[in-house]
Structure 1
Amino acid sequence: MFRGLYAATSGMMAYNRQQQVLTNNLSNAITPGYKNDITAFRSFPQQLIEKMGGPNSLSSQAGTLSLGTYAQEAIPQFTQGIMKQTSSPTDFALQSPTLVFQVRTANNEIRYTQNGQFLVDQQGILKTAAGDEVLSRNGQQIQLSSMDFQVDEQGRITEAGQPVGQLFIGTTDDPQSFVKEGSGLLRYEGQNAPVAAANGEPLVTQGYLEQSNVDMTRIMTDMLRTYRGFESNQKVLQAYDQSMQKAVTEIGRV
């Protein structure tokens, strides 16, 4: 009987975790470059149900029973969002869902981002909205003297016709190794760090932003389904509670 309690409780916890992921997706529906997360569910190791005859007897196997489920991880979906024209010189839209910009945080750590909504600070340094330095292909900060600059499709920056640098636009064959850290930052945990994309195909467009790939209609539907799943497990838990209460009060009197 208690096994059913554990299964229902684990189901409630898993749906609660999924609701948190969906809520985070919803709150980032207008965040440029944000990639929608989906929840991966896993079953607890199954338990062997045995009959009399000993645990090693072939005739003892009567099947298996799962002990519940849990939400193991949130997996980002690297699909392209809609491009929106902003005409701002510090807005950049990546042309592939697996391309990334490279940035340096205040702790001198290398991170990546797909949010191309940048700014130029008072010192003329190109930074993210959170204040992280946007890096060039040679790993240096990008220094600008004005807002009158151009960036071509390969990320090359020019001012008054003179080259200033080139944005680091990285690519990887394993985008699932990116881990979200908040503020649009990605940490790479794969074997080989993203490398600069080869020149040739268009990589970036200035004056545009890639919108979030969150589907609002699907999010609302998934949130409703998650609520129903949580409610169903809750009712199972209540039924077990009533059964145990009845067993204690009635069987105890006998």
Structure 2
Amino acid sequence: MIRGLYNAAAGMLTQENRHDTAVQNLANVNTPGYKQVNSVARSFPEVLISMMGGSSDVPTPTIGKLNTGVFAEEALSLYQQGVIKASSKPTDFALVSDMEMTDPATGQNIKFDGSGKFVSANGEVIYKPEAFFTVQDQNGQIRYTKDGSFKVSTDGRLLTSTGYQVLDSNNRPIVLTGSVDSFKVDGQGYVLDPKTGARGQQIGVSVVGQPYQMVRDGEGVFRIDDPQGAGVRLLAGNDRVEVRQNYIETSNVNASEVVVDMNTALRAYEANQKVIQFYDKSLDKAVNEVGRV
């Protein structure tokens, strides 16, 4: 009976985490570049139950397996591209990315599923590479973001909406030399001279080969603890990535799907709550009524 209480409590905690994740997604449905998060639940290891107290001459009979509950293991981000919307601000940017990869087994282009994953014939899991703006936090640490709603500081530095420094392809701060109205960038991210049209600094765009190794760091940015293991590299000329000025990538949150998931988590939470109340009443009877007999 006590084991049932623990299992139901674990279920409540898992559904609470699932509900909180859905609320977070809904709160960021209008946040540029936000990527939807899905809560992943896992079951605790099963245990094999055997009968106790038997004779040493008789083999102990096996009763069966027992599941020991569930827990919220992790939260996975979906890196599907959001809708690209036109903007009137010259400091708004969007990355239009459609990276291609070849299946090493067949030599054909990979068709990734909705989550950006592909499983080859030999069981190898391949993830779709994703492109991110390269930025720097206040401590000088490299971070990555899809939020291209930039702004310009008083000293001409290009910043993210939350104040992170936007870097160029050499990890140097991008500084505007002219007015914001004359700020022009081509499709490869090069800042164009307003008078001659000559290319200057290139907006830093990083391609991440293993995007599921990225960790949310708050304020719309991600960090990567092992850049080499995650396959981080600079944007190459043959990559199918375009930098679009005067555009912004919206959140990829599916609001209707998230609302359904939130309500499902609430109902499951209530069901586990009822189970705990049932066990509580049963224990009450066992202690206060059966104990008097």
TM-score by length of 1: 0.95
CA 1:233–1:188: 2 relative to 1, 3 Å: same
Letter in 1 for 2:263: L
How far apart, in 2, do the equivalents of 1:150 and 1:63 lie?
69
Give me the CA root mean square deviation: 1.7
SS at match of 2:38: strand
Indicate the structure with greater helix content: 1
Letter in 2 for 1:81: G
Corresponding residue of 1:144: 176
Indicate whether 1:194 and 2:232 are aligned. Answer: yes
**Deviation for aligned residue 1:250:** 1.6
Letter in 1 for 2:254: D
**Number of positions where the alignment pairs a residue of Structure 1 with one of Structure 2:** 253
- The more displaced of 21-30 and 184-193 is 184-193
SS at match of 1:71: strand
**Deviation for aligned residue 1:193:** 5.2
Letter in 2 for 1:127: L
Indicate whether 1:82 and 2:89 are aligned. Answer: no
Q: Which runs of 5+ in 2 are unaligned?
A: 99-129
Q: 1:176 aligns with which of 202, 208, 212?
A: 212
**Deviation for aligned residue 1:192:** 4.0
**Deviation for aligned residue 1:149:** 1.6
Indicate whether 1:40 and 2:40 are aligned. Answer: yes
Corresponding residue of 1:16: 16
Q: Which runs of 5+ in 1 are unaligned?
A: none
CA contact (8 A) 1:155 1:167 kept: yes
Q: Deviations over 1:114-169 (max 9, x none)?
A: 11110111100101111111000011001102211211111111121132200111
Q: 1:227 aligns with which of 263, 266, 273?
A: 266
SS at match of 1:203: strand
**Deviation for aligned residue 1:59:** 5.1
- The more displaced of 63-72 and 237-246 is 63-72
Indicate whether 1:101 and 2:137 are aligned. Answer: no
How far apart, in 2, do the equivalents of 1:206 and 1:144 lie?
15
Corresponding residue of 1:133: 165
Corresponding residue of 2:155: 123
- The more displaced of 43-52 and 69-78 is 43-52
Letter in 2 for 1:209: I
